Chain A
């Protein structure tokens, strides 16, 4: 909200500099996002008349202009084309410093000396208009040589652009901001000039009003103004309205806007002659009703259903024929708008239910200055005071204005003001410091709250301008925030608490860190690929899966939650290859999503209004995906990376088993699943990226192999699914180990790790079994290969004799045979 310093000063005396005031307002939670100095830098700009325009030889974009600014002819070179002889324009003479610090100097262009600059409105900081010079004849009756500020009636001022927080309905007005400043600075607050009804006729003799739905409309006042002459506003009113960033329209509309900015009460003026039956009523819109709002859009009323809480309740103003003429508190209709010929005005000043306005404004995508205020809660006591101010303002341009006696004042349901009990010690219990009761009283009374003592308690009733203050414990917190805010957060003490409970990471988090560390230590660079992808990318790997789709995506490229990180990582790799930096291992740990209808493990959650409904949400699966894109990387490097990781994680026995069935994203004949031997749980896959996926995503990199590891962290972290090595330390035997190498011819169908496991468990004497060579060749029977294992064994209590060693060896060979492998 834009507030002029001069306006604030009408309510509270302020001696501070703009920067000092900014600091005070920031500390009050009225954060100043910008300060604008109106009229600064224009002190030496004057009105000049164009007397002669002539071309400059050899230049077609600039012309030689002769002007008079009161001191005889002056020659200026100018590039604008939008004026003719006799026009009046602003002249910045040599030596002037324009807003933004631009200093005007004598300049020579194409041999012509320019003695100053003719300016556009933007160059003067007066508007955004930069389509040529600011031709003053369109605006005023200019006088040659007159200072521009005087000519335009601009009074230098400072404008604060304040960001108003959601719980400060009062701060949407000059008066509300002034109240905060007056309370903080301990200064008196002045009241604006108000008018009195003066017509000698009662309102109800001319106009009628009714509230038909008391829940929606808490108060409806109707005033009638006669002898209205619609015309321009006086300069000071125009300035006020414009200082707030609004356009000056006419004296009537300006008065309405000025009152809204000053006091926070939106009012709506109607042309009384165009309100059927001279009657307005407030009711709920009925299904099928429509309204063309002032912005020219035809709105269907009473249609809900756009999301949770969209009840479809629209509060409307209807005329004597029961025809909708306005969306209450949001925007009026075109039919009864004020025009140049209006002589009698019906002025509506009301209180509407904030939530109804909020829902309705959201439903219609229609936010106005009025709805912004109503949805946060306008002071219900303000309605007639605002009219009194409106009349006082309008009288500035219409001195004979009549305000009919006894304005209609109807009441519906207004929020009841809570009585909040501030118990002795409440402030200290919340803020950690006791604040003097005198100070507390001064602050709360300064805010217009009323206070009553009850034993040791203070009973606080907030002002009607503060409908954000709730009842009960929540209200107590609200009041304490106000005390702290006006006292200043910076004056509150700090204390670093300690507690006996230890801090720390969960096992899952420790695991996550370890996995990341190992992968990075092995040479991976961590990437961050998008969680939201396109339909096209989703379909590449998961054409058969349902998609978790975003209803309102920013782009189609980011409209579906990912089901895998493989696509994103391959894309990231391809882009790096294009930059010549593709010799890299990329990894990502992140969440992938499964539609509830496809999820094996449903994820129920509380949902609906008040959490009363059970919703099944998408399954979220944390995974680690690594692609190995270095030259010569392939499925073997992926297996190597996995086996280092498995070793570091202390996994007891996870088997790598090649797969016949294709896995999405993986090369069809170079993919293996990782399963825990004892639980059978699937932990992930290892292999190479599907060659067709690489070709699709790169177009040109067919033939490159990319190693791929894709691990399910949820499985890895689950102690029931993945068995870890015992934490009990094993002391190795002090006696020498025997080493036996066994070359075994095994059918391709026999997994080498299953065979190793059979050997390992064949005898308690076996320490380790390690595959060290694989041979396939013509000398072997078709469909078999030779697997060479090194088996170490030892006894904890003696050196094994040669015969013992050969007995174990025989036994190992027998065990191998029982699995289908024979000594070569």
Chain B
């Protein structure tokens, strides 16, 4: 009896020729069962091996297996080739000269758009401060250690650094470049710029995105937005700071919302204060949000520390000033009573669509 694989080579050659002649993915899919599937010559050869003696069977099986792999690879190659070609043809058919568009005949359904909660809150805050005589300044999100920390009187390895969980950027020496942990570095840029351009005094607010290495939960996000205020002028006092905080609070949150200051520590201000406002939920009566105190913490502030003045080269005898900062997202959270801050980054249009 002749081996069932006697004609294997020519059978394989025929299969390869058929594969090479396939002209479309559709044809390939249709031909697949008869090339490598149950209806293929490979499968029937496999069955015929059953009649061989065991020692012959394993050799023949290996030979057939090798042949099958050869065919399968050829089929896959052809599939990729055809897919590429079909995509090329599809893309060519798709080609549009976008310089030719007759704009007035483009279909444009009326859809209601929605402003992002954070940018629109930021805009409201900016407008309040602009009304109070502040300009608005921007700053970068990736900062050197100098701007984010050291110029703000937070030297390397200082224990106060523990106040900020910092993301380090993998550039230069370890831990020399950071994602800014607060908007305060923009203060330093602003003072340097004003000095260089002889453009003092400064009355500015600086909104922007900040980062802290803090696992997100219902109250915190690792990415968040702050607005920072900076005044550098002559004869500025703590009373001016308290007055600005008070005016802002009433103007943004409403005339029945008060502010108060209590001592705190920030390396870049002295005296420093935490500022609290009447709880916007219970209006001061005490509720769960304010732990029954009637007050909620909004941000930090203080008189510019002389160490910051000397870091930027400003004369502390001639100039004085204050800075303050608080969360934009937190203002939005309070105003709209957002139970879980993570809703802000989920981009669910059912959430976003609630705001105008």
Contacts and interface: CB of A to CB of B under 8 A. Distances in A.
Q: Say whether A and B bind each other.
A: yes
Contacts of A474: 270, 305-307
B263 interface: yes
Interface stretch (B28-36, B72-80, B91-99): B91-99
A607 B144 contact: yes
A599 to B, nearest CB: 12
B132 interface: yes
A635 to B, nearest CB: 6
A421 to B, nearest CB: 13
Contacts of B172: 607, 615
A240 B116 CA distance: 53
Contacts of B261: 489-490, 492
B135 A617 contact: no
A585 B168 contact: no
B55 to A, nearest CB: 49
B347 A432 contact: no
Contact of A528 (B92, B215, B264, B344): B344
B132 to A, nearest CB: 7
Nearest to A372: B159
Contacts, number: 377
Interface in A27-78: 27-29, 31
A429 B265 contact: no
B322 to A, nearest CB: 10
Interface stretch (B14-22, B38-46, B57-65, B235-243): B235-243
Contact of A478 (B114, B146, B270): B270
Contacts of A433: 239
State the majority secondary structure of interface residues on A: mixed
B160 interface: yes
A453 interface: no
A752 B99 contact: yes
Place the interface of chain B in its size category.
35 or more
A251 to B, nearest CB: 32
B333 to A, nearest CB: 14
B133 A550 contact: no
A185 interface: no
Contacts of B320: 429-430
B345 interface: yes
A116 interface: no
A476 B157 CA distance: 25
Contacts of B143: 605, 617
A29 B347 contact: no
B92 A669 contact: yes
A551 B274 CA distance: 32
Contacts of A311: 157
A821 interface: no
Interface residues of A, number: 141
A562 to B, nearest CB: 11
B168 A667 contact: no
A551 B169 contact: yes
Contact of A430 (B173, B303, B311): B303
Nearest to B344: A528
A585 B176 CA distance: 40
B37 interface: no
A667 B201 contact: no
Nearest to B245: A494
B219 interface: no
Contacts of A590: 209
Nearest to B205: A503
A649 B210 CA distance: 29
B37 to A, nearest CB: 26
A191 interface: no
Contacts of B129: 503
B96 A658 contact: yes
B88 to A, nearest CB: 9
Interface in A582-604: 584-586, 588-591, 593, 596, 603
Nearest to A26: B262
Given A498-B133, A585-B111, A620 B141 contact: yes
B239 A492 contact: yes
A579 B177 contact: no
A674 to B, nearest CB: 10
Contact of A751 (B99, B240, B271): B99
A636 B101 contact: yes
B98 to A, nearest CB: 4
B169 A618 contact: yes
A637 B203 contact: no
A566 B112 CA distance: 22
Interface string A544-586: 0000111111100010010000000000100110010100111
Given A358-B158, A474-B305, A481-B272, A306 B106 contact: no
Contact of B223 (A309, A531, A605): A531
Nearest to A359: B157
A773 B272 CA distance: 67
A686 interface: yes
Given A308-B156, A551-B168, A618-B142, A669 B94 contact: yes
A748 interface: yes
Contact of B237 (A430, A615, A753): A430
Interface string A517-529: 0011111111111
Contacts of B223: 530-532
Contact of B235 (A429, A484, A553, A667): A429
Given A503-B130, A751-B99, A771-B100, A610 B91 contact: no
A502 interface: yes
Given A168-B265, A308-B176, A501-B133, A526 B103 contact: no
Interface in A152-168: 165-168
A548 B113 contact: no
B91 A668 contact: yes
Contact of A432 (B132, B155, B239, B246): B239
Contacts of B270: 474, 477-478, 480-481
A430 B269 CA distance: 12
Interface stretch (A192-200, A506-514, A808-816): A506-514
Given A503-B129, A532-B223, A658-B98, A607 B145 contact: yes
Interface string A750-781: 01111000000000000000111110000000
Interface in B308-354: 309, 311, 316-317, 320, 344-350, 352-353
Interface in B121-178: 123, 126, 129-138, 140-147, 150-151, 155-160, 163, 167-177
B53 interface: no
Interface string A336-378: 0000000000000000001100110010000000000001100
A526 B347 CA distance: 8
Given A355-B157, A508-B138, A639 B176 contact: no
Contact of B213 (A495, A554, A586, A607): A554
A536 interface: no
Given A309-B155, A528-B118, A591-B209, A670 B146 contact: no
A546 to B, nearest CB: 10
Given A494-B243, A615-B177, A656-B98, 20 more contacts: A31-B262, A165-B264, A307-B176, A429-B237, A481-B271, A496-B240, A497-B236, A499-B201, A503-B133, A513-B123, A525-B353, A530-B223, A531-B223, A550-B167, A561-B142, A617-B142, A636-B106, A639-B98, A655-B99, A657-B99
17 contacts: A166-B159, A484-B263, A495-B243, A522-B113, A525-B114, A531-B223, A579-B350, A585-B111, A593-B142, A607-B144, A611-B146, A637-B108, A639-B98, A639-B101, A640-B101, A657-B99, A670-B98
Interface of B: 91-92, 94-104, 106-116, 118-119, 123, 126, 129-138, 140-147, 150-151, 155-160, 163, 167-177, 179, 201, 203, 209, 211, 213, 215, 222-223, 231, 233, 235-240, 242-244, 246-247, 260-265, 267, 270-274, 303, 305-307, 309, 311, 316-317, 320, 344-350, 352-353
Closest CB pairs A-B (n = 10): A309-B156, A432-B239, A29-B263, A307-B175, A523-B111, A432-B237, A526-B116, A607-B144, A481-B271, A165-B265
